[in-house]
């Protein structure tokens, strides 16, 4: 299946470079380019990309506001946001995850890392660059913000003990393979538990699952992120 990508960046030269890179891959294609957040939202609604590569600082509507608008739209539930920016600050990472972004990378990443990131996001996985560490998630996502939905917190009671265990490990930054080794399960079984947790908690993807885990108190801050 071809991954449909929308590029949102106010620098035309950078968009052109990314387009050539992405279109050179057999499993990807660029379906649109946006120069600001409003255009990114409008194009996402008409072209339904699988992944939006979103810059943060753009004129008019910025990338974080655009990400929030896309992630709140029920008709765009299948679209994932990969924030790609020069300004890889802890505050931006936290805000991006809270409004629904599935991943965050700095523009310094290699071409291979960018392409791998798009594939990771398209597959429903969370992606954080080295700068966005597990400690960062703990620091900024602990404690429910005012907009936290009670339904998300209540949904925790629907998780089975194993689903809770898998969710906690995922929130600590462990991959499916790492979780499988930790719990002596198959990777397929771990994926099944993750998917069931996503459904029960109403999470769009793994990144939002991590946010919910911290906001609800399922995972508490500590030296190991638990």
Residues 139-148 pLDDT 10s: 555 544 545 4
Task: Locate CATH 3.40.50.2300 in the chain.
Answer: 3-132
H or E segment and range at residue 169:
helix 161-171
Coil, helix or strand at residue 47: helix
Q: What are the residues facing 33 on neighbouring strands? A: 7
- Write the pLDDT tens digit of every residue in 104-131: 887 778 889 889 889 988 887 766 654 4
Strand partners, 7: 33, 53
Residues pairing with 6 in the sheet: 32, 52
Q: Where in the chain is the domain with CATH 1.10.10.10?
A: 145-215
Domain 145-215 has CATH 1.10.10.2120: no
34-38, 49-53, 77-81, 142-146: which range is least confident on average?
142-146
CA neighbours within 13 Å on the CB side: how many for 141? 34
- Range from 18-22, 57-61, 145-149, 212-216 that averages highest in pLDDT: 18-22
47: Cβ contacts below 8 Å, ≥ 6 apart: 4, 6, 31, 32
CATH architecture designation of domain 3-132? 3-Layer(aba) Sandwich (3.40)
Q: Which residues lie below 8 Å from residue 146, measured CB to CB, with a gap of 6+?
A: none
CA angle (170 as vertex; 190, 51 as ends), nearest 5: 90
């Amino acid at each position: 299946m071809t991954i449909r990508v929308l590029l949102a960046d106010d620098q035309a030269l950078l968009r052109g470079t990314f387009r050539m890179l992405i279109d050179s891959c057999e499993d990807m294609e660029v379906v649109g380019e946006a120069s600001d957040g409003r255009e990114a939202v409008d194009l996402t609604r008409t072209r339904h990309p699988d992944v939006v590569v979103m810059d943060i600082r753009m004129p008019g509507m910025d990338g974080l506001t655009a990400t929030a608008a896309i992630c709140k739209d029920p008709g765009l539930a299948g679209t994932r946001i990969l924030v790609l920016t020069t300004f890889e600050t802890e505050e931006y990472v936290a805000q991006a995850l809270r409004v629904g972004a599935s991943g965050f990378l700095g523009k310094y990443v290699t071409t291979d890392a960018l392409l791998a990131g798009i594939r990771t996001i398209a597959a429903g996985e969370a992606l954080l660059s080295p700068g966005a560490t597990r400690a960062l998630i703990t620091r900024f996502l602990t404690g429910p913000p005012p907009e936290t939905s009670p339904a998300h917190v209540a949904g925790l009671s629907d998780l089975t003990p194993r689903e809770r265990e898998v969710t906690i490990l995922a929130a600590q930054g462990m991959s499916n393979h790492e979780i499988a080794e930790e719990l002596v399960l198959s990777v397929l079984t771990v994926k099944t538990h993750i998917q069931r947790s996503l459904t029960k908690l109403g999470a769009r993807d793994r990144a939002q699952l991590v946010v919910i885990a911290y906001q609800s108190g399922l995972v508490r801050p500590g030296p190991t992120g638990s």
